[in-house]
């Protein structure tokens, strides 16, 4: 075998780099679809990463691939090894998106406009409570509409622990009226009335500086969700 033939051998493996490119592109596409389920802007961010990150990575990857082929390690670049690498690459790209989705998107039954059932003590201080998830920016916000004027209320941010079913509500940072921020923890028991609406019972857990009204009024209070926002959650 002459020197020219030796130099030509690595070029026969170039098509294997195409497998890496194809798998990576498909993985990025799936990553983008998952991120779109988190929030619209998250999907746009993935597109930007693909444009400004993936294309330069292809160039760098191709150079590295070419250099490896011209070394003694080129013999390890086989269909089997490239397939394994492509599979690992796909997992590295897709798994963070899946993890981010489950960590960020709340259960859809929580996001609603909640109206308490009649003849409960909380009716003396509250009209209704909104718990929302912004499908554009992935923000979790809500509002407590106080009595007697529905225009007088308080914005809050929230996080939900699915394992304990506890929602942590904190005063919205841009609408603070108090010297100290408040925090309120409630356990939620939510059920779906098939084809109709959600019902919820709240149980008081704890609070910090919650002075809007007696937080114990949330304890063992029943609510009805007026909307079915299936797009605001998973």
C-alpha 142/C-alpha 132 separation (Å) is 6
pLDDT per position as a tens digit, 71-102: 787 787 888 888 999 999 999 999 999 999 99
Structure confidence at residue 228 as a pLDDT band (50, 70, 90): low
The whole model's pTM is what? Answer: 0.80
Q: Is 147 exposed, middle or buried (0-12, 13-18, 19+ CB in 10 A)?
A: middle
Non-local (6+) Cβ contacts of 83 within 8 A are 19
What pLDDT is recorded for position 112? 92
CA-nearest of 40, 38, 29 to 234 is 38
Domain ranges of the chain: 3-104, 112-225
Answer yes or no: is pLDDT of 6 > 60.
Answer: no
CA-nearest of 108, 90, 135, 128 to 197 is 108
pLDDT per position as a tens digit, 123-180: 989 989 999 998 888 889 999 988 765 556 688 999 999 999 999 999 876 544 544 5
C-alpha 82/C-alpha 76 separation (Å) is 9
230 by DSSP, 3-state: which? coil
């Amino acid at each position: 075998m002459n020197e020219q033939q030796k130099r030509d051998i690595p070029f026969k493996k170039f098509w294997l780099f195409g497998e890496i490119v194809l798998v990576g592109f498909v993985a990025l596409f799936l990553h983008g679809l998952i991120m779109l389920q988190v929030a619209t802007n998250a999907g746009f961010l993935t597109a930007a990463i693909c444009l400004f990150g993936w294309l330069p990575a292809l160039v760098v990857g191709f150079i590295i691939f070419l250099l490896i082929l011209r070394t003694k390690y080129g013999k390890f670049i086989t269909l089997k090894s490239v397939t394994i690498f492509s599979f690992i690459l796909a997992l590295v790209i897709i798994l963070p998106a899946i993890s981010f989705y489950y960590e960020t998107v709340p259960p859809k039954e929580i996001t609603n406009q909640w109206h308490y059932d009649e003849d409960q003590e909380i009716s003396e201080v509250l009209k209704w409570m909104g718990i929302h998830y912004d499908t554009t920016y992935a923000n979790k916000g809500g509002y407590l509409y106080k009595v007697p004027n529905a225009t007088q209320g308080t914005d809050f941010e929230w996080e939900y622990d699915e394992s304990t079913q506890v929602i942590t509500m904190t005063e919205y940072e841009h609408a603070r009226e108090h010297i100290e921020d408040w925090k309120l923890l409630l356990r939620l028991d939510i059920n779906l009335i098939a084809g109709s609406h959600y019902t919820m019972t709240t149980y008081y857990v704890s609070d910090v500086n919650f002075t809007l009204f007696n937080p114990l009024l949330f304890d063992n209070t029943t609510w009805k969700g007026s909307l079915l926002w299936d797009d605001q959650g998973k």
